[in-house]
Structure 1
Amino acid sequence: MNIQEPDRNTLKEARDSRHEPRRWKVWRKRTDGEISWWFASTGIPLLAAALGPFANLSSIAALVTSWRQNNYLNSDFVSDLFGVPYADPKWCYWLNVVSLICGFLGNIFLLFNFTQKIRYIIALPATIILWYISSGLLIAITACMEVYDPPNRPFEIYTQGYWYAVAAAIFYFVCSVLLMVNMLGYFLGHYPDHFALSDNQRTLILQTMFFFIWMAGGAAIYSRIQTDAGEDQWTFPNALYFCYVTILTVGFGDLVATTDLGRGLLFPYSVGGIITLGLVVSSLYRAARELGEDHIVQKDLERRREQTLALTATNSDDYRHRQHQLVRRGTFGRLKISAPTEPRPYRTAMGNNVPRTSTLARNFSVPIVDRKPRLLLLKEEKDRFDAMRRIQADSKRFKRWMALFWSALYFCYISLLTIGYGDLSPKSNPGRCFFVIWSLISVPTMTILVSDLGDTVVAKFKKWSNIVADFTVLPKRDIWQPFVDKNPWLQQRIQDHEAKRRVREGFGTANPDEGDEVDNDNDVEVAADAIQATNPNITSLAEEAETDLACAPTLASLARRIAFSIKKVSFDLRLDVPKRYSYEEWVEFTRLIRYTTPRRLNRILGTTLTNETENEEGLVNWDWLVY
C-alpha cells in the first residue's frame, strides 16, 4: 500500500496551529463577538489615548505648583488669584514625582501598543498597572494632605495644583478601568491582540498629543515671562488657564499678558493653537462619524440580519424543532393567586378594649392642666426655635443657589459659544481647574452636535425654505400642478370654472385674415391630443380603442401625443416625491409605445386594424417588453 507523504506546508500549518495561543483560537472561533464589543475594541483605546495626555498635563500642573496658599495678607483677604503659595511637605512632593513618572511611562506603553512596537499582552497590562499606581499615589497624597496637613481655613486654601492632582487621579483611574474592559474583551475572544486603527483615528491621537504639548509649552513660557516681570500670580495653572481661554477664543479678560514679549508671542501662539484645536475637533468628528457608520449602523444591521436568518426555518424538521423549543420554554403550573387581605372592620367588634370617656367628660369640657415641668417646656420651645432657624437657613441657601444657578447657566452659554463678555469668569482655584476640564470636553461635544445638526435639522430647514420660496418670493412655474393632480375634485372644479367662463364670455372664433376651418380643426385636434396625453380617462381610452380598430391614428397626432407625454414625464422627473402613474396613464403610454414599434409603422398611415390583430396585440394584453 502506498501512503502519500504529507506536504511540508501542511505539517508547518499543523505545527503552528498546535503552538498557537489559546486566546487567538478563541478569537477565531468567536469573531461574531466584535459586533457587540466594538466600543471596547475601538472606542476605549481612542478615549484612553485622548485622556492620557490630559492626565499627564494635569499631573504636571499638580507637581510644579504648591498645593496650599495664604489669602490673608497685610490684615486683609485677597482673591485666590493673588494668594501667596507656600511649600508642601517633602513626602507630598516626591510621591507626586513618582506619580508623574508612572503616568508618563503608562502613556508611552500605550503609544507603543498602538504602533505595535511592543506586544499587546505586555504593553496594555503595563499601562494599566502604571496608571493605577499613579492614581493610587495621587489619591493617597491628596487624602493625607487633607487629613494630616490641611490649610488653616479661612486664611489658607488649596491652590489649583491640588485640584489638578484630584483631576489627574480621576483620569488615570477612569482610563485604567476602560483599558481593563478592553483586555477583558480580548481574553473573552471578541477581538485580536492589536488595535486596528484607521487613518482618521491615528491622526486624532497624534493631533491630541500635539495639542496638549502646545498647551503645556505655552503655559510654561508665559508663566516664566510674566513672573520675571514681577507678576507672581502667573503660576503654571494660571498660565494654563490663560492659554486655553486664548485658544478657545473666549477672552474673559480676567488674566491678560502685560509685557511686550508676552503680547508679541501671542500672535503666533494663538494662531497655532486655534488651528491645532480646529484640527483636533475635525479629526474627532470624523472619527466619531466613522465609528458610528462602521459599527453602530452596519454592525447593528448585520446583527439583525443574522437574528432574522436564525429565526428562519428552512425545512419541516427545523420548524418542528422550533415549535418544540417554544413549547419547552413555556411555563406550566398552577397560577399563583395572592391570599385575600384582612378587611378593616366597618364597626368595632363587641368585647374589644376600647377606651371610653365618662358621661361627665362627654357632656362637659373640663380644661386639663399640663403638669409638665417648666424646664421641659423650655427645651421643647428651644427645639422648635432651632428647627425654624434651620428651615430659614436652608431656604436662604436654596434661594442663593437658584440665583447662582442661572448665573452659571449664563456663563456656560457664553463660554460654549465663545462670546466671552467678561462680566462673569471663574475666580476660585477649583473653578478655574474645573473650567479647563469642562471646556475641553464640552467644546468637541458641541462641535459634533452642530455638525450633526447640519446633516439633519439644517437639511430639513433648507428643504422647507426652498418649498416656501417656490410658493412665495421665488415662485416656480406650474408649482400648483402636482397639488392639483393629487386632488381630482379640485381639478374638476377648475375645469368646470373654465367651462363656465367660456360659456359666459362666448366661444371664440377664428381670425378671418389668418385662419380657416382647417386651422380650427387643427387647433381642436391639438387641444384634444394635449388633454388626452396629460389627463387620460377610461371613457376616452375606450373610444380611442374603438377608433383604432377602424383606422390607425395619424402620424401628426402620434407625434403630438408623444411630445406632450415626454414633456409631462420630464416635469414629473423634477418632482421631489417620485410620481406614481395611474392605470389610465400607463394605458396611454403603452398605446404610444405600441404604435411606435417597427412592426406597427407600416400600419399607421391609413391602415385599418382587424379584430385578429387587436386580439393579438390588444389594448390590455399588449406588453411592450417583448418588442
Structure 2
Amino acid sequence: MSRYAIERSESVRILAGGLVKLRGPSDNLPQQWWVASTAIPLVAATIGPLSNVLSIAALVTPWRVTLPDGGIPSSSGRGLEDAAVGIADPKWELVANAFSLACGFAGNLFLLLHFTSRVRYIIALPLAILCWILSAIIIYSQGFWHAVLASILYFIGSAILTINIIGYFRGHYPQQFDLDDDQRTLILQTTTFFFWLAGGSGVFCALEGFTYVDALYYADVSVLTIGFGDFAPKTDPGRGFLFVFQLIGIIFLGLVISSINRFAANISADKIIKQHQIHARESTVGRTVTSERELRERLGLPPRPNATATDGYRLSESGRRGSLAEYGRIEIVGRTVTFHENKRRSRGSIMRGRETSQEKRKRRRQKLLLLEKEKDRFDAMRQIQQDTRRWKQYWALGMALLAFGVLWCLGAFVFMLTEAQVSELRYFECFYLCFVSLLTIGYGDFAPKSNVGKPFFIVWSLVAVPIVTLLIQEMSRTIVSAVNRGTFKLADWTIMPRKGVLKHFLASHPGIRDLLTKKHKPVFEVQNPDQDLNSSTVDTETTKPLGSEPQENDPRPTATQDSEVTEHDLARQLAVTIKTVAHDLRSETPKRYSYDEWEHFTKLIQFSRQASQDEEEDGLIEWDWIGEDSPLLADITEAEWVLDRLCESLNRYTRWQAEKVSVEICFRCEV
C-alpha cells in the first residue's frame, strides 16, 4: 500500500458502507466541492447579519395597519400605504418574534465562532442551521414584508449550510473551513456594516420621528449615495448625526466593496482563469508534434521506409514534399501543420477496409502544431499566456454586462409588481428607476413607496449596488486599457511616431514582410537604424521583436556567448545573476524574460546538478515549457521563480565545493 493510501485510510473514517466519509479538522488530502467548502460559508456569513437587520425591523414595526377613508385614494395624492396607521400586535407575538430574532443572532454567532476556531464544525453548523430554521418558521411578524424577506434569507442560509455539511459527510473537505485572511476580513466587514446600518436607523428613528422601517430605508439610500429625497432629516440633531453616520458608513461600504473585489479576483484567478489556461495548455500539448515521425504516428501513417526506431525524421522541406507526398499534402503556416489526405488514397483505403473510421479520417485532417525546437515550445507557452490575458478581459466584460443586465431587468420587473397599486409605475418607468439606483444617481422623480417595495429595495440595493459597482470597475479597466492601447498605437504611427515601429510591425507580421521584400527586393530592405551603412543588412528572417535584445548595462550573458566557461565562471555568473534578478523582483510591473534570458538561467540552474546526489533536495532542474511543471505556469512571478531556482543552484554548488574540500583533506591526511 502506498504512503498516500495509508495516510488517507488513517485520516478518513468511513461509515455506513462508504456513504459517510468523515475527515479530520485538517489534512493534506485533496479538496473537492470548492463552492460548498468556501463560497457557501462566506455567503451564509454575509446574509446572516442582513437577515438579523430585517428581523429587527419586523420586530419593532406593526404587521397590521388601518387604511384611511376606508381604503379610498385621497385627493392629496398620498398613497394609501403611506398614510396607514399601525395596529398594535398582541404581546404573545412580541415574545415569539423576539425569540425568533434571538435564534437568528444565535445562528450567526455559532457560524462566526467556528470561523474563529472557537467551536467545532460538527457542533457549530448543525446549531446554526437549526437556529435559522426556527427563525424562519417562528416569525409571525409586525413588519410583514420585512419578516417575509428575513424568512427567505434565513431559509437560504440554512439550505446552503446544509449543502456544506453534506459535502463534509461525503468526505470532500475537512471540518475546518479553508478561509484566507481576505475572506475572514470580508465576513467581519459585512457584519460591521450591517450592524452600523441597523444602529444608525435606530438613531434616525429617535431623532427624526421616522418609523424604524422608514429609517432603515432612509439609511440605506443615504449610505449607498442614492438619495431619492423622499426622506430627509428635518432637525439639526438628525442632520448632525448624518455627518458621522454617512462618513463612517461610506468607509465601511468601501471596505466591503474592496474585500468583494479581492474575493472575486481570487476566484477568477484560481478557479476560472487558471482553468482556462490549463485547458488551453492541454489542448496545445494534444496537438503538438516535434518531428515527421510523431506526425506520422498522430495521423496514423506508416513510418518512413528504411528508418530505424530511433530516427526522428526532422520535418524539412524535402520531407514535406517527398516522403509524405504519396499520402497527402502538408501545409505549414507558422507553427500550424495541416494535413490534406489524397482523395484517391482515401477512397482506396475505404475500399480495402483500412482507415475507414470517421474519427481517424477526421484526425488526419486536424491542425497540428509543429514545435521542433525548444524555443518553439517557449513561444507557444507565451502565446497561451497572451490568449489567456485577452480571454480574461473579455470574460470580465461579459460578466459585468450579464450581472448588470440581470439585476437591472429583474429589479424592474419586481418593482412593477410591488408599485402597481400605489404608484402605478409602468415597466419602463421601473426600468428607469433601477438604472438611476444602480448607478447611484437617484433623481427622486421615481422611488419605491409601497410597504413591500421599500423592504425589497433595501435587500436589492444592498446586493446590487456594491456588486455592480465592482463589476463596472472591472469593465472600466478593460475598456480603458483597450482605449489606451489603441491611442498609443495610433500615436506611434501618426503624430508621435516611435523609433523602430515599422521594424517591429514587419517582424510581427512575416506575411506582409515577405510580400513587401519579394515585390520590392531591389529597393526595399529592413535596415537596423543603429547599424552602420557599410555593414551587411539585417537578416529579416531572424529579426527579433523589439525589447528582446539585452540592454547594454545588463550583466546577464545571452545564449549567443558560446565561449568556453568553467564551473567557477558559472558560479560567478550565478552570483551576479541572483543580484540582477533580485533587482527585477522590485519592479512595479512583473518582469517577463525573453527566451535568451531563460536559456541563460537554465544553464546556471543546471550546471550544479552534479553537486547533489539527493534528488529530493535538487528542486526543479528540468522542465517542459508547455508541460505541467512549466515555470510560466507558476503561481508566483517569473523573477520569484528564477530567484528560487538560482538560490537552489548556489546551495548545491557550495555544498559540492565543501564536499570536495573534505575529500581533499581526508586524502591528504591518509597520504
TM-score (norm 2): 0.53
- 1:200 paired with 2:222, answer no
- Local SS of the residue matching 2:52: helix
Corresponding residue for residue 282 of structure 1: 258
Structure 2: which amino acid aligns with 1:126? Answer: L
Shift of 1:421: 1.2
Partners of 2:279 and 2:194 in 1: CA distance: 39
Would you say 1:52 and 2:67 are equivalent positions? no
Matches within 5 A, 1:171-570: 171-227=153-209, 234-296=210-272, 404-454=426-476, 456-484=478-506, 486=510, 487=512, 488-491=514-517, 527-529=533-535, 532-535=536-539
CA–CA separation in structure 1 for the residues paired with 2:136 and 2:520: 79
Aligned length: 402
Contact kept, 8 Å, 1:27 with 1:191, in 2: the verdict is no
Query: Residues 453 and 48 from structure 1, CA distance in 2 versus in 1: closer, same or farther, beyond 3 angstroms?
Result: same
CA 1:403 to 1:115, structure 2 compared with 1: closer, same or farther past 3 Å?
A: closer
TM-score normalised by length of structure 1:
0.56
Q: Distance in 1 between matches of 2:45 and 2:11?
A: 35
1:47 is displaced (CA, Å) by 0.4
- 8 Å contact 1:56–1:100 — kept in the other structure? yes
Q: Quote the Cα distance in structure 1 between the aligned partners of 2:179 and 2:561.
A: 56
**Corresponding position of 2:135:** 134
Match of 1:64 among 48, 60, 67: 60
Letter paired with 2:474: D
Q: Deviation per CA, 1:390-430: give whole Å up to 9, x if none.
A: xxxxxxxx9xx997111111111111111111111111121
In the TM superposition, what is the alpha-carbon distance from 1:303 to its structure 2 partner? 10
Task: Tell me, yes or no, if the aligned pair for 2:492 and 2:501 is still in contact at 8 Å.
Answer: yes
Distance 2:171 2:177 in 1: 14
1:480 is displaced (CA, Å) by 2.8
Q: Which amino acid aligns with 2:63?
A: W
Match of 1:108 in 2: 109
Q: What code does the residue aligned with 2:111 have? A: L
Match of 2:39 among 26, 43, 51: 43
CA contact (8 A) 1:38 1:295 kept: no
Q: Report percent identity of matched pairs.
A: 38
Distance in 2 between residues matched to 1:257 and 1:102, nearest whole Å = 34
Which region of structure 1 is more displaced relative to structure 2, 177-186 or 483-492?
483-492
SS at match of 1:251: coil
Corresponding position of 2:394? none
**1:120 Cα deviation from its structure 2 partner:** 1.1
Could you say if the C-alpha distance between residues 417 and 29 of structure 1 is closer, same or farther in structure 2, counting changes exceeding 3 Å? Answer: closer
Higher relative contact order (CA 8 A, sep 6+): 1
Judging changes above 3 Å, is the alpha-carbon distance between structure 1 residues 407 and 527 closer, same or farther for their aligned structure 2 residues? same
Q: CA RMSD, aligned part only? A: 4.3
Q: CA deviation at 1:482?
A: 3.5
Give the aligned residue type for 1:121: I
Change (3 A) 1:498 1:172: closer
Note the C-alpha offset of 1:455.
5.4
Q: Any conservation in 2 of the 1:484–1:491 contact (CA below 8 Å)?
A: no
Partner of 2:99: 98
Counterpart contact for 2:204–2:215, Cα < 8 Å: yes
What is the CA-CA distance between 1:238 and the residue it aligns to? Answer: 0.5
Shift of residue 121 of structure 1?
0.9
User: Structure 1 residue 126: deviation in Å?
Assistant: 0.6
Residue 34 (str. 1) matches residue 31 (str. 2): yes
Instruction: Name the SS for the 2:162 alignment partner.
Output: helix
CA contact (8 A) 2:23 2:173 kept: no
Deviations 1:485-529 (A, max 9, x none): 532333455666689xxxxxxxxxxxxxxxxxxxxxxxxx95342
Counterparts in 2 of 1:20 and 1:300: CA distance versus 1, 3 Å: farther
Q: Which structure's residues are more often helix, by fraction? A: 1
For 1:49, the aligned partner's letter is A
Gaps of 5+ in 1: 1-12, 143-158, 228-233, 310-397, 500-524, 538-564, 576-588, 599-624
Question: How far apart, in 2, do the equivalents of 1:91 and 1:165 lie?
Answer: 16
CA-to-aligned-CA distance 1:305-330 (integer Å, 9 cap, x gap): 99999xxxxxxxxxxxxxxxxxxxxx
CA contact (8 A) 2:133 2:154 kept: yes
Query: How much does 1:597 deviate?
Result: 9.9
SS of corresponding position for 1:34 = coil
User: 1:334 corresponds to which residue?
Assistant: none
Cα-to-partner distance string for 1:112-171 (whole Å, 9 max, x where unaligned):
111121111111101101111111123xx36xxxxxxxxxxxxxxxx8x21110000000
Which residue identity lines up with residue 56 of structure 2 in the other structure?
I
User: What do residues 316-365 of structure 1 show as CA deviations (whole Å, max 9, x unaligned)?
Assistant: xxxxxxxxxxxxxxxxxxxxxxxxxxxxxxxxxxxxxxxxxxxxxxxxxx
Q: Summarize deviations over 1:97-123 as a string: whole Å, max 9, x none.
A: 221111111111111111121111111
Deviation at 1:283, TM superposition (A): 0.7
Cα drift, residue 59 of structure 1: 0.4
Contact 1:32–1:190 (CA<8 Å) still a contact in 2? no
Structure 2: give runs of 5+ residues left out of the alignment: 1-5, 286-419, 526-530, 551-557, 566-602, 604-671
Give CA deviations for 1:257-285 in whole Å, capped at 9, x if unaligned.
01011111111111110110010111111
**1:214-249: per-residue Cα shift (whole Å, max 9, x none)?**
10111000001112xxxxxx1011101111111111
